[in-house]
């Protein structure tokens, strides 16, 4: 006679497995540690990124869950400031789509800033049906600030001067070294940037928390709020600890519901789908090419200083252009700019891809400014989030003058040179009048070419482009109003446009491109147009877009990646 205990031991694992396959699901998201932008570029990065939440997994997972009867609810932990505004807006769109199915979406936070900035995490939370806050937490709804340190006087005290020139008055990358505060144009641009972001946040608070727009805007002036105050103001729905939040969600999802992270849910379904469906090597699809980081010449790098290399991105575009299966390209840009020459290399390949009959749609992430806008401007369509930082169409050049500091330290220099401008970039002396003539001619040429290419790509007059360029930074919302952006939306909007323009069905796949195997990473590419040519490389240092002067630029405080760089350090909080 069979042993009943043995039978239970044998069948219990199968029963648990069956329950996990059929039980209702509560999907979880942890948004406190940030969201990765694109796929890993190499095997090592893939291993290191295995536990990181990727934006594509969140968006596709919530889209899939919307139509999955097993999924009953979504619960997300929010807080921290590690997600850029534009990516937050993409997550908000994905959550809104999930909620359209009638399923519950709950956000909870231990605190929205511990009496520090918490405006953006709270803005993200407003996309959910309910917001819970830990009783000991606070809500740092403190508005939007653009701050910058100015080092002019500190440098002067040690005998360092800084000389720079720019095109034009809004290009403020060197202002922290040459000024004592915001110039009038810089203040104007910063004020409008802050106002645009505040308008977007106020509109979301008003819509989702049942307030008037003026009342929502007034709340930005009254924070931060204690937890009880946030509840009284209707900014959160309940105060509770994690266990209390999850208990409430389980009451509505059902006692037998099990938890699963959105990323695990999405990857499991994607793997199962690939296993069920035989690959079609001739299937037409959209290529998704990521262009992330400061722009420099050469290959993209990973490591302590990640950067976008023109050889890598241009190689990916060339390979996509020659690949018959690819009918359109979505270029995902997240870059503050850098080298003007490297930016122009990528711009040229965008033009060539379009000329080959393949639509190119740019999807701007958190930042696509200066050189980041340069590589975008030739696309058929530019899509940005309202909170994307973009524009900054301008150019800058400069160097520190260390003569005073060296003299104080008792250091002298001497040189032997062939060529009247051989020591032009040396920090030991100011620019001469003749050298300034060369610099200004170069700045004029780079700026003129920039705005002429913007005018051609955006189908605008050069004078109109100059009016809205001049180095000025815009939010995506204002850039759209000024014609620098075509549509407001995220990566999903961009891929839909790409499919439509290429005449592909709505279900046509979008694939990260190029997919480089571990073997391809190790062996040399067959040619400059093969997929392995678009691989990145490990880089423990960097050479910047200033050419041999990159170290000088870095020491001076200028962005080392080059003259088409977004001015200042832009973090909206």
pLDDT in tens, 294-337: 999 998 876 556 789 999 999 999 999 999 999 999 999 999 99
d(CA 224, CA 117): 8
d(CA 173, CA 164): 10
Characterise 59 by phi-psi region: left (phi > 0), alpha (psi -120 to 50), beta (else).
alpha
Question: Looking at 77, 103, 166, 171, which residue is catalytic?
Answer: 171
DSSP H or E run through 214: helix 213-222
Strands 308-309 and 473-475, by their bridges, are: unpaired
C-alpha distance from residue 208 to each of 211, 398, 472 (Å): 8, 47, 32
Report which of 281, 282, 262, 259 is spatially closest to residue 270, judged by C-alpha positions: 262
Most confident of 180-194, 354-368, 528-542: 354-368
Averaged over 13-29, what is the pLDDT?
A: 73
HSE at residue 26, side-chain half, CA atoms within 13 A, is 21
More confident residue, 129 or 527: 129
User: Which residue in the block uniquely carries the two structure tokens 């231990």?
Assistant: 110
Long-range contacts of 414-417 (CB under 8 A, 24+ apart): none
For residue 129, the 8-state DSSP code is: S
Residue 340 falls in the annotated catalytic set: no
pLDDT at site 414: 83
pLDDT at site 307: 85
Domain 280-395+433-548+558-565: give its CATH superfamily.
2-enoyl-CoA Hydratase; Chain A, domain 1 (3.90.226.10)
- Per residue in 341-389, pLDDT (tens digit) is 999 999 999 999 999 999 999 999 999 999 999 999 999 999 999 999 9
HSE at residue 72, side-chain half, CA atoms within 13 A, is 18
- Per residue in 204-225, pLDDT (tens digit) is 999 999 999 999 999 999 989 9
DSSP H or E run through 374: helix 371-374
pLDDT at site 397: 87
Residue 166 falls in the annotated catalytic set: no
pLDDT at site 551: 46
Quote the tokens at residue 535. 């691989």
Say which CATH class 21-142+223-270 falls into. Answer: alpha beta
d(CA 530, CA 513): 12
The structure's pTM equals: 0.87
Q: What percent of the chain has pLDDT over 70?
A: 81
Where b means 16+ CB within 10 Å and e means fewer, 404-420 reads: ebbeeeeeeeeeeeeee
In this chain, the answer to whether the domains covering 21-142+223-270 and 280-395+433-548+558-565 adopt an identical fold is yes
Averaged over 150-170, what is the pLDDT?
A: 88
- Who contacts 566 (Cβ-Cβ below 8 Å, separation ≥6)? 173, 336, 337, 367, 369, 370, 372, 389, 392, 473, 559
Domain boundaries, given as residue ranges, for the chain: 21-142+223-270, 280-395+433-548+558-565
pLDDT at site 532: 62
d(CA 535, CA 558): 28
Question: Looking at 363, 370, 376, 392, which residue is catalytic?
Answer: 370
Report which of 301, 295, 297, 467 is spatially closest to residue 375, judged by C-alpha positions: 295
For residue 9, what pLDDT band results from cuts at 50, 70 and 90? low
C-alpha distance from residue 40 to each of 53, 319, 515 (Å): 12, 19, 10
- Per residue in 499-516, pLDDT (tens digit) is 999 999 999 999 998 876
């Amino acid at each position: 006679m069979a042993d009943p205990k043995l039978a239970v031991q044998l069948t219990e694992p199968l029963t648990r497995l069956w329950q996990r396959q059929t039980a209702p699901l509560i999907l979880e998201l942890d948004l406190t540690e940030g969201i990765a932008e694109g796929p890993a570029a190499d095997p090592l990065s893939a291993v290191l990124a295995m536990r990181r939440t990727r934006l594509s997994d969140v968006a596709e997972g919530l889209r899939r869950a919307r139509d999955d009867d097993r999924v009953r609810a979504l619960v997300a932990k929010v807080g921290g400031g590690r997600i850029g505004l534009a990516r937050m807006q993409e997550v908000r769109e994905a959550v809104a789509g999930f909620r359209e199915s009638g399923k519950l979406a709950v956000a909870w936070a231990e605190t929205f800033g511990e009496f520090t900035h918490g405006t953006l995490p709270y803005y993200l939370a407003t996309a959910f049906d309910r917001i819970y806050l830990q009783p000991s937490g606070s809500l740092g709804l403190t508005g939007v600030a653009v701050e910058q340190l100015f080092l002019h006087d500190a440098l002067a005290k040690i005998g360092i001067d800084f000389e720079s020139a720019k095109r034009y008055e809004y290009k403020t990358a060197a202002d922290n070294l040459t000024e004592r505060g915001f110039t009038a144009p810089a203040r104007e641009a910063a004020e409008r940037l802050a106002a645009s972001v505040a308008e977007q946040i106020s509109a979301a608070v008003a819509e989702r928390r049942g307030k008037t727009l003026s009342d929502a805007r007034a709340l930005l002036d009254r924070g931060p709020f204690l937890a009880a105050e946030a509840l009284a103001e209707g900014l959160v729905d309940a105060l509770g600890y994690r266990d209390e939040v999850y208990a409430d969600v389980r009451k509505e999802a059902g006692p037998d519901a099990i938890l699963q992270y959105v990323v695990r849910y999405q990857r499991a379904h994607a793997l199962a789908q690939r296993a069920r469906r035989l690959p079609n090597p001739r299937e037409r699809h959209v290529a998704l090419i990521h262009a992330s980081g400061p722009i420099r010449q050469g290959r993209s790098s990973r490591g302590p200083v990640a950067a976008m290399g023109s050889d890598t991105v241009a190689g990916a575009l060339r390979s996509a252009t020659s690949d018959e299966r690819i009918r359109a390209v979505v270029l995902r840009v997240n870059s503050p700019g850098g080298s003007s020459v490297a930016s122009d290399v990528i711009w040229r390949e965008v033009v060539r891809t379009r000329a080959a009959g393949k639509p190119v749609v740019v999807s701007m992430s958190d930042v696509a400014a200066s050189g980041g806008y340069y590589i975008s401007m030739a696309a058929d369509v530019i899509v940005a989030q309202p909170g994307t930082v973009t524009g900054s169409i301008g150019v800058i050049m400069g160097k520190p003058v260390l003569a005073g500091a060296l003299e104080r330290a008792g250091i002298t220099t001497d040189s032997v040179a062939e060529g009247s401008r051989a020591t032009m970039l040396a920090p030991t002396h100011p620019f001469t009048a003749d050298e300034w003539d060369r610099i200004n001619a170069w700045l004029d040429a780079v700026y003129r070419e920039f705005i002429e290419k913007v005018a051609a790509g955006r189908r605008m007059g050069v004078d109109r482009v100059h009016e809205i360029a001049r180095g000025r930074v815009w939010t995506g919302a204002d850039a759209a109003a000024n014609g620098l952006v075509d549509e407001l939306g995220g990566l999903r909007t961009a891929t839909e446009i790409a499919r439509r323009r290429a005449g592909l069905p709505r279900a046509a796949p979008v694939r990260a491109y190029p997919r480089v195997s571990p073997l391809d990473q190790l062996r040399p590419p067959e040619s400059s147009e093969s997929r392995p040519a678009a691989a990145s490389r490990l880089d423990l240092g960097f050479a910047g877009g200033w050419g041999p002067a990159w170290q000088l630029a870095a020491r001076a405080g200028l962005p080392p990646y080059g003259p088409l760089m977004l001015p200042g350090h832009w973090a909206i909080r």
